[in-house]
Amino acid sequence: MTDISEACRAVLDQPDPIAKVKAARKAARDWRMGRLEQRFTVAMPDRPARTDRPPLLPPSRMPKRGRAGSERARIAMLHALAHIEYVAIDLAFDLVGRFGAMFPPRFIDDWMKVGAEEAMHFALLERRLNAYGARYGDLPAHDGLWEAAEETAGDPMARLAVVPMVLEARGLDVTPSLISRFEAARDMRSGGIMRRIAEDEIGHVAAGVAWFRFLCDRERIDCVQNWQSQVRRHFRGAIKPPFNDSSRDKAGLTKEMMAGVAAPCDLSHTGRVADGGAIPDSG
């Protein structure tokens, strides 16, 4: 019988996007059906397997891609979003495979479900790209997302503090403007996909908050102060308002928590997706 770590590793070791989606769905389904042994016998890789498409560039070297509202800009947005979801699949299964043994089985339930949802998000965006005559891998993508995983590879508290609670939460802030951009260009399908993703992502952030709190309670330490110090230690970027307060609230990220880590408000840095292709969040 395959165990949890082997099923997670199979996802991370699969570079082909479509095969990765299949491996992710299989792992989540097998767990749900009780077909995975609750053991962790293999280690997770330092980096997931990748093909040469898309070429990965540092965020600063991402090309400008088309006038806002143009078809080219929409393809660039969908491609950048698909890349985030592709990396988010690996982030979810790495979390389960790397740290799952330290948690009760409900942790595996939650993050296997997250992983399956990230795979669905990727598949929806890839299908949307196909409708535009494009596909994932056609454009360069930025290589910043796995850095947070490497930075927090040794500590589940740091990982939860940064990946779901900072990066995925950032997605909650930028999604409403992405939805408006697609809908302003009469691309209602892409807008609809983003609405669905936005709903799911609240759940991903909420799972991050809940399991971070679980660890804090277990160690009897203050959750808010500890989160803020983890973020200052392990997250190099700035956490920039404006925040989507209602979505953050639903996920359990309170104003009190945000107040201790937020950078001064600078509206000029938000929503750079269509211009630079760099989306500073995780799916």
**Which residues form the interface with Fe ion (CB under 5 A)?**
85, 88, 118, 121, 168, 201, 204, 283
Alpha-carbon distance of 59 to 31, in angstroms, equals: 36
Residue 153, both tokens: 């590879």
Q: In the complex with Fe ion, which residue's Cβ is closer, 228 or 282?
A: 282
Q: In the complex with Fe ion, which residue's Cβ is closer, 156 or 283?
A: 283
Q: In the complex with Fe ion, which residue's Cβ is closer, 122 or 243?
A: 122
Instruction: Return the C-alpha torsion angle 271, 275, 277, 282, nearest 10.
Output: 0
- Torsions phi, psi for 57 (to 5 deg): -120, 155
Q: In the complex with Fe ion, which residue's Cβ is closer, 75 or 163?
A: 163
Please state the closest distance from residue 201 (CB atom) to Fe ion, in A. 5
Please state the closest distance from residue 233 (CB atom) to Fe ion, in A. 23
Residue 181, both tokens: 């951009």
Instruction: Return the C-alpha torsion angle 133, 76, 203, 228, nearest 10.
Output: 160
Paired residues of 239 in beta bridges: 262
SS3 of 262, please?
A: strand
Please state the closest distance from residue 49 (CB atom) to Fe ion, in A. 20
Under 8 Å between Cβ of 8 and 108: no
Q: In the complex with Fe ion, which residue's Cβ is closer, 187 or 201?
A: 201
Which single residue brings its beta carbon nearest to Fe ion?
A: 283
Please state the closest distance from residue 242 (CB atom) to Fe ion, in A. 21
Give residue for tokens 């592709």. 86
Please state the closest distance from residue 166 (CB atom) to Fe ion, in A. 12
Q: In the complex with Fe ion, which residue's Cβ is closer, 62 or 91?
A: 91
SS3 of 276, please?
A: helix
Please state the closest distance from residue 122 (CB atom) to Fe ion, in A. 8
Q: In the complex with Fe ion, which residue's Cβ is closer, 85 or 90?
A: 85
Alpha-carbon distance of 98 to 106, in angstroms, equals: 15
Under 8 Å between Cβ of 122 and 83: no
Alpha-carbon distance of 127 to 140, in angstroms, equals: 18
Q: In the complex with Fe ion, which residue's Cβ is closer, 210 or 265?
A: 210
Please state the closest distance from residue 80 (CB atom) to Fe ion, in A. 13
Please state the closest distance from residue 219 (CB atom) to Fe ion, in A. 26
Under 8 Å between Cβ of 12 and 90: yes
Cα angle: 109, vertex 164, 82; to 5 degrees: 95
Under 8 Å between Cβ of 231 and 263: no
